[in-house]
Amino acid sequence: MTSKSDRIKGLPDREIVALLMEKADEYNRKSFIEHDPICIPHRFSKKEDIEISGFLTATIAWGQRITLIRNALRLMEWMDNAPFDFVIGHSPKERKRFAGFVHRTFSGSDCTTFLFMLQRLYTRQGGMEAAFQADDLKQGLVQFRSMMLADEVGKSKALQLSARHLANPDAGSAAKRLNMFLRWMVRKDTRGVDFGLWSGIQPGQLYIPLDVHSAGVARNLGILQRKQNDWLAVEELTAFLRKIDPQDPVKFDYALFGMGVNEKLSKPLTSNR
């Protein structure tokens, strides 16, 4: 009998497409929300609250999901569960309450710096959606990073230190967390998982949020050849997914991530002996 691993490993293209469509449908459901970081912005209804809570949650989205969600909830509580009002109105003194925040390598200093950058972005730079808009979303990512890190006096060590938490695809980064955040903000369907808040960016412009799970499944299916999980791999995989659905290629993030995490298909597949 042919094992599931053998069958998946040898899938022809039409079966790969069918599998991706099936799994995207299976995982793109409201039940996905509860144990995913996207549950944090789903606590809010105001556009700017969703943006800010989503961005901060995506920024710290690595490590165990239980710990990540707990720490993201703590951030929301410290912002009085009104992230937009807090961001635009807080004083430097109020910002100091976040100095004790830690999630993995994201320190209290990083947290206070990000709050400063967000306050400036919303009060002086046109807000988050405008910061990402560009003809090509790769350049949108670079543009957003540049705006966040803009140093008006040229002496901000805090901005320089926190730059490591803002991915730069021009330097080869896969920008997984920012691409995930953009999926949340831009994709819109009837499933109620992603928000579809932003009209200035179209779903077809999105790039796949590539991580170890989605990349491993993609390689096992033979739709990603590049070995490094970098921006070139993002472009390669996204180009394949756009051939299946040019209007909404990143819906297949559900399929690749879901199979990697829930079906353990992100490790190399071997035949049963």
- In this structure, are 1 and 86 located in the same domain? no
Place of tokens 């179209």: 202
- In this structure, are 172 and 252 located in the same domain? no
pLDDT score for 3: 46
- In this structure, are 92 and 118 located in the same domain? yes
- In this structure, are 112 and 22 located in the same domain? no
User: Which residue from 121, 139, 118 is spatially nearest to 130, judged by alpha carbons?
Assistant: 121
- In this structure, are 180 and 46 located in the same domain? yes
Kindly report the CA angle at 180 between 268 and 31, in degrees rounded to 5?
Answer: 80
- In this structure, are 101 and 147 located in the same domain? yes
The span from the CA of 244 to the CA of 217, in Å, is 17
Give the total residue count for the chain: 273
Place of tokens 């949650």: 57
- In this structure, are 61 and 136 located in the same domain? yes
Helices 176-186 and 47-59: crossing angle in degrees, nearest 10, is 160
Supply the range of the domain harboring residue 218. 1-30+208-273
pLDDT score for 209: 98
Q: What is the largest CA-CA distance in the chain?
A: 68
pLDDT tens-digit profile of 150-176?
976 556 888 888 999 999 999 999 999
Q: Is-contact 205 137, C-beta < 8 A? A: yes
Structural domains counted in the chain? 2
Question: Can you name the residues that pair with 106 across neighbouring β-strands?
Answer: 103
Give the count of alpha carbons within 13 A of 189, CB side only: 17
- In this structure, are 79 and 189 located in the same domain? yes
- In this structure, are 135 and 213 located in the same domain? no
pLDDT score for 155: 61
- In this structure, are 69 and 20 located in the same domain? no
Residues in contact with 186: Cβ distance below 8 Å, sequence separation at least 6, in sequence order: 194, 196, 197, 198, 201, 202, 203, 205, 206
Amino acid in position 221:
L
Q: Which of 164, 182, 200 is the last residue of a domain?
A: 200
- In this structure, are 16 and 81 located in the same domain? no
- For 202, the 3-state DSSP assignment is coil
Per-residue pLDDT tens listing for the chain (273 residues): 344 444 455 555 899 999 999 999 999 999 999 999 999 999 999 999 999 999 999 999 998 899 999 999 999 999 999 999 999 999 999 999 999 999 999 999 999 999 999 999 999 999 999 999 999 999 999 999 999 999 765 568 888 889 999 999 999 999 999 999 999 999 999 999 999 999 999 999 999 999 999 999 999 999 999 999 999 999 999 999 999 999 999 999 999 999 998 887 766 543 332
Q: Is-contact 4 265, C-beta < 8 A? A: no
Kindly report the CA angle at 110 between 115 and 121, in degrees rounded to 5?
Answer: 30
- In this structure, are 159 and 268 located in the same domain? no
